[in-house]
Amino acid sequence: MTAILEARGLTKAFGGLVAVGDVDFAVEEGGITGIIGPNGAGKSTFFNLISLFYRSTSGTITFRGEDVTRLRTHDMPPRGMARTFQTTHLFAEASVLENVIVGYRHRTRAGLLDALIASPRERREIAEARRRAMEALDFVGLADVAHRPAGLISQEQQKRAAIALGLVGGPRLLLLDEPAAGINPEETDDLGRLIRRIAEAGVTVCLIEHKMKMVMGLCDRIMVLHHGRKIAEGTPDQIRTDDAVITAYLGSDAHAHA
């Protein structure tokens, strides 16, 4: 399969501390790729590197064939990359729909003058943004709460709203940072089914997640980080039985928990 995103020799040092060291990584287009590792393994730092939230100390990042290493995170949505964060940040007093509309703004062209005079272009783009946002909310199962203040919906619904915010701009790659954190097992299963639907709809997914049952049942390939280094990469079956992974992360009862 073709890689939609590739990292080569990716390294991030904070002063004398190497948080991510010389990692090679690829996300295959059309699949679901997981990144796992114990606390302090460098997962969040690595995610921030591949989403251009952090600038790497060395190494390269290629997205859809373009070297994007020196770009910034705001350069990526127009190129087809979107991400969520571990902590969901929504405007609590705005409606769920209004929050999701924000994710479509990089697709609009109207400027300040258009807004001031309510130009035809401004009106067309607002209507299109609302339509796309409602489609995204319907896809994630939140159409019925679209007009409710975002601060009044459940944590699980906020997770789905964040995913809709990522989807509304039509990304080719969606990065999910611990999407199942803080939700119960039944909600986790439902969220896993949604992520599978996203991939089936043609959006490549890369996620960090601590819930091993979800990762093993959902991902096509998994990379394992430990102390900022890649110690294993492969299919769930390969990762489940990898001695280095068992020792570093999963523990001796890996088979029972996976």
DSSP for 171-203 reads: -SEEEEESTTTT--HHHHHHHHHHHHHHHHTT-
Confidence (pLDDT) at 254: 42
Query: What is the pLDDT at residue 108?
Result: 53
- The tokens describing 232, both together, are 């294993």
With vertex at residue 198, the alpha carbon angle to CA 157 and CA 50, rounded to the nearest 5 degrees, is 90
Q: At what angle do helices 185-200 and 155-167 cross, to 10 degrees?
A: 10
Residue 175 dihedral angles phi and psi, to the nearest 5°: -100, 125
Rounded Cα gap, residues 28 and 156, in angstroms: 28
User: Under CATH, which number does the domain 89-170 receive?
Assistant: 3.40.50.300
**Which residues on adjacent β-strands are paired with residue 206?**
33, 175
Shortest CA distance to 88 belongs to which of 191, 185, 160? Answer: 160
CB atoms within 10 A of CB 206: 27
Spatial contact of 214 and 32, defined as CB atoms under 8 Å apart: no
Instruction: Return the pLDDT at 103.
Output: 83
Region(s) of the chain under CATH 3.40.50.300: 1-80+171-258, 89-170
pTM (two decimals): 0.89
pLDDT at residue 88, as a whole number: 76
Walk along the chain (258 residues) and give the pLDDT tens digit of each residue. Answer: 699 999 999 999 998 899 999 999 999 999 999 999 988 899 999 999 999 999 999 999 999 999 999 999 989 999 999 999 877 788 899 999 999 998 877 655 555 445 545 556 666 777 888 999 999 999 999 999 999 999 999 999 999 999 999 999 999 999 999 999 999 999 999 999 999 999 999 999 999 998 999 999 999 999 999 999 999 999 999 999 999 998 886 554 444 444
* β pairing state of 221-226 and 32-36: parallel
- Predicted local distance difference test score (pLDDT) of residue 109: 59
Superfamily of domain 1-80+171-258: P-loop containing nucleotide triphosphate hydrolases (3.40.50.300)
Residue 82: half-sphere exposure toward Cβ, Cα within 13 Å: 25
